[in-house]
Amino acid sequence: MHTFSIRDPLLALRTVLAAAGLRRSLLAFLLFNTAEWGVWVAALVYAYDLGGTSAAAAVSLLQLLPAAVIAPFAASIADRVPRRRVLAWTYGAQGAAMGLTVLLFWLQSSPLLILGSVVLVSVSISLSRPVYLASLPTFASGPSQLTAANSVSTMVESLAVLLGPAIAAAIMQFIGPTGVFAVFGLGQLIAALLVWMPRGAPTVPSAVAPHAQLRPSDWIAAFAELRVRSDGLLLLGYLAGAYLLVGMADVLAVVLAFEILSLGASGPGMLISAIGFGGMIGAAGSILLAGRRSLGPPLACALFVAGVPFALAGQTTHLLPAVLLLAAVGIGKSFLDVAARTLLLRSVDDHLLARVFGLQEGLMLLALAAGALLVPALVGIFGARGAFVAAGLMLPALGVLTWRRLRAIDAEAPLPARSLVLLRRTPMFSHLAAPLLEQVARRMVPVDLAAGDVAIRQGQHGECFYIVESGQLDVSVDGRPRPPLGPGDSFGEIALMLDRPRTATIVAATDVRLWSLDRETFLATITGSPRAESIATRVADARLSATGSQRPGGRGSPRTP
């Protein structure tokens, strides 16, 4: 059974910490993400104190909608001005906007002025993430550092979901919203200095930039093409439902803290942190979904685990059960994300995937805003406790109503069984997350060789990586025999990783079934995971050492063409 390993994130973290520019950029990104969640909680608590649930929902919308409108255009600014400078400006703008909010609190200004300043903070926050992603190549000295930085950035975002609300909760307990904006505003000024200070870092060409910007027209085109594909729309509906619940949960956490549990100002932060903590556990455990032939039952189970505990959380009268139930919600939501996205990868044509996931991002923002908007109506109709029941039972009801169709999607979605099994048994790929592992397996092509056929020839240009499913192959280097290859063995990585001719000749000794992976997919997958890259590097070095050859430039990270 495949299990989660801590080695992958530790390798990525070690790579990032070894580079001064990346250290500063990632620390600044942690300060940014933590502040984003911290001031979000403070704004909701302040709004609730002003006007109850309706005010909290309205402020939630005011913070979400600018992000949905402005974020897609933020990276285009960084295409005209040096990106590191733009990133520093955005962090500095957030610090200034938070400082203005603190000043308005101190002057006891009108709530409308304070809320206007809070919206200004939200607008400034919406600029940073796309600019940061576009800026990462300016902090990295090569593809290896860049991919490690992407991996650590994801870890930072997950950690911030836990830290931001927790820190805000502690500050709210003693100082109130003013202290939250003051502390995180200072943190953003420090973040601006951190990314402004490094000079002269090498720049990775834009071709390896980690994220492309998806335009609104891409989302519209994706929806038009999916309109006749009920499978994809249903799976997107599950994901949108999950974020609808998250949007409701952020506001209902304030209701739970104040109206049901009678907690102090720190209550909402603790409750939202519990969901984030559960999400981290679920994200780690969801790797067990990789390679499962049937994902319908896990997805349906995730709908119940995300929803039912949320319905029960509103019925409890003690903090500990509420925290545990909300952590369960986070676990279920993470499994739902992975299962639905994996089924999307199986059932949607490859050429549509980018636009489909672009549409999913747009739906996510809309669902978050819609969830916040629904809360006042639910509380008004069902009361505080009843609102939790109505919100929590939404996902299980969706699962029940669509179960038959979900089972059909699950049965129809092709699973690349043999290639997936071989990938899971190959050390450099075995740890990959379920959706990525299946996506790579779908790109593999079977190759049948008769005894005597040449698989690869020494000195030729390499275009594919191979895994042996059955049969035996003879290996020779400069005419001298080497240990043969059999089922489960792999070869061909050296030519792809080092951009050099094949270092050996491999001939089928018996009838052989191979699975090949094209150069582009292999390199993207290997350089996208520090652990995969590390294992592949060790394999290549060991094989080069056995043949008396040396890696160009000595030992180190593989060079990509």
Q: Using one digit for the tens of pLDDT, what is the confidence trace for 202-239?
A: 433 333 333 344 454 555 555 555 555 556 678 788 88
Q: 417-547 has which fold?
A: Jelly Rolls (2.60.120)
Q: How far apart are CA 18 and CA 140, in angstroms?
A: 11
- Collapsing DSSP states into helix, strand and coil, what is residue 352? helix
Distance of CA 347 to the CA centre of its chain: 21
Q: How far apart are CA 506 and CA 54, in angstroms?
A: 70
Model pLDDT, residue 205: 37
Give me the mean pLDDT over the 98-121 stretch.
90
Tens-place pLDDT, residues 518-555: 888 888 777 666 666 677 777 777 777 766 554 444 43
Q: How far apart are CA 536 and CA 506, in angstroms?
A: 19
pLDDT: which is higher, 51 or 183: 183
Tens-place pLDDT, residues 356-379: 665 666 677 788 888 888 999 999
Amino acid in position 448: D
Q: How far is CA 134 from CA 72, 74, 87, 205, 309, in A?
A: 12, 10, 10, 11, 38
Q: Which residues contact 406 (CB under 8 A, 6 or more apart)?
A: 234, 296, 299, 300, 399
Give me the mean pLDDT over the 239-262 stretch.
89
Any idea which of 134-148, 274-288, 315-329, 478-492 has the lowest mean pLDDT?
134-148
Model pLDDT, residue 474: 94
Question: Residue 3: beta bridge partners?
Answer: none
Here the tokens at position 508 are 């089928």
Q: How far apart are CA 34 and CA 167, in angstroms?
A: 8
Percent of the chain with pLDDT over 90: 22
Q: CA torsion sign, 203 to 205 to 206 to 208?
A: negative
- Collapsing DSSP states into helix, strand and coil, what is residue 490? strand
Model pLDDT, residue 3: 41
CB atoms within 10 A of CB 390: 19
Candidates 258, 373, 368; CA nearest to 322 is 258
Whether the per-residue pLDDT at 141 is higher than 90: the answer is no
pLDDT: which is higher, 155 or 245: 245
- Domains 1-198 and 218-415 in one fold: yes
Whether the per-residue pLDDT at 10 is higher than 50: the answer is yes
Q: How far apart are CA 139 and CA 120, in angstroms?
A: 28
Q: Tell if the pTM clears 0.75, that is, is over it.
A: no
DSSP 126: H
Helix locations, 211-352, DSSP H = 216-226, 230-255, 267-285, 296-313, 319-347
Tens-place pLDDT, residues 314-361: 999 899 999 999 999 988 888 887 777 777 766 666 555 555 665 666
In terms of Cβ atoms closer than 10 Å to its own Cβ (0-12, 13-18, 19+), residue 36 is: buried
Model pLDDT, residue 180: 92
Question: Is residue 236 within 8 Å of 226, Cβ to Cβ?
Answer: yes
Kindly report the CATH number that applies to the domain delimited by 1-198: 1.20.1250.20
Here the tokens at position 54 are 């309706």
Candidates 184, 189, 197; CA nearest to 84 is 197
Q: Crossing angle for the helix pair 20-78 and 143-174, nearest 10 degrees?
A: 90
Model pLDDT, residue 57: 86
Give me the mean pLDDT over the 501-507 stretch.
91
In terms of Cβ atoms closer than 10 Å to its own Cβ (0-12, 13-18, 19+), residue 503 is: buried
Q: How far apart are CA 485 and CA 480, in angstroms?
A: 15
pLDDT: which is higher, 185 or 127: 185
Model pLDDT, residue 421: 76
Whether the per-residue pLDDT at 32 is higher than 50: the answer is yes
Model pLDDT, residue 37: 87
Model pLDDT, residue 348: 62
Token pair 């994300």 is found at 337
Amino acid in position 517: L
Question: Residue 496: beta bridge partners?
Answer: none
Distance of CA 215 to the CA centre of its chain: 20
Q: Which residues contact 100 (CB under 8 A, 6 or more apart)?
A: 117, 120
pLDDT: which is higher, 155 or 455: 455
pLDDT: which is higher, 410 or 492: 492
Total length of the chain = 561
Here the tokens at position 538 are 């060790």
Whether the per-residue pLDDT at 410 is higher than 70: the answer is no
Whether the per-residue pLDDT at 385 is higher than 90: the answer is yes
Class of domain 218-415: mainly alpha
DSSP 513: E
Model pLDDT, residue 507: 94
Model pLDDT, residue 200: 43
Question: Is residue 335 within 8 Å of 285, Cβ to Cβ?
Answer: yes
Q: How far apart are CA 219 and CA 523, in angstroms?
A: 28
Q: How far apart are CA 103 and CA 95, in angstroms?
A: 12
Give me the mean pLDDT over the 81-100 stretch.
85
Q: Which residues contact 217 (CB under 8 A, 6 or more apart)?
A: none
pLDDT: which is higher, 547 or 52: 52
Helix, strand, coil percent values for the chain (each to nearest 5): 70, 5, 20
Tens-place pLDDT, residues 255-284: 999 899 988 878 888 888 888 888 878 766
* Confidence bin at 187 (pLDDT 50/70/90): very high
Here the tokens at position 145 are 């550092």
Here the tokens at position 340 are 């639905």
Candidates 201, 189, 191, 305; CA nearest to 245 is 305
Question: Is residue 314 within 8 Å of 387, Cβ to Cβ?
Answer: yes
Q: How far is CA 336 from CA 50, 201, 300, 341, 537, in A?
A: 35, 40, 8, 8, 34
Model pLDDT, residue 151: 57
Q: How far apart are CA 536 and CA 98, in angstroms?
A: 46
Q: How far apart are CA 163 and CA 319, in angstroms?
A: 19
Report the mean per-residue pLDDT for the chain: 78
Model pLDDT, residue 4: 42
Model pLDDT, residue 131: 74
Question: Is residue 306 within 8 Å of 248, Cβ to Cβ?
Answer: no
Candidates 292, 298, 388, 373; CA nearest to 337 is 298
Give me the mean pLDDT over the 303-309 stretch.
93
Q: Domain locations in the chain?
A: 1-198, 218-415, 417-547
Percent of the chain with pLDDT over 70: 71
Whether the per-residue pLDDT at 392 is higher than 70: the answer is yes
* Confidence bin at 406 (pLDDT 50/70/90): confident
Tens-place pLDDT, residues 435-466: 667 778 778 888 999 999 999 999 888 889 99
Model pLDDT, residue 510: 94
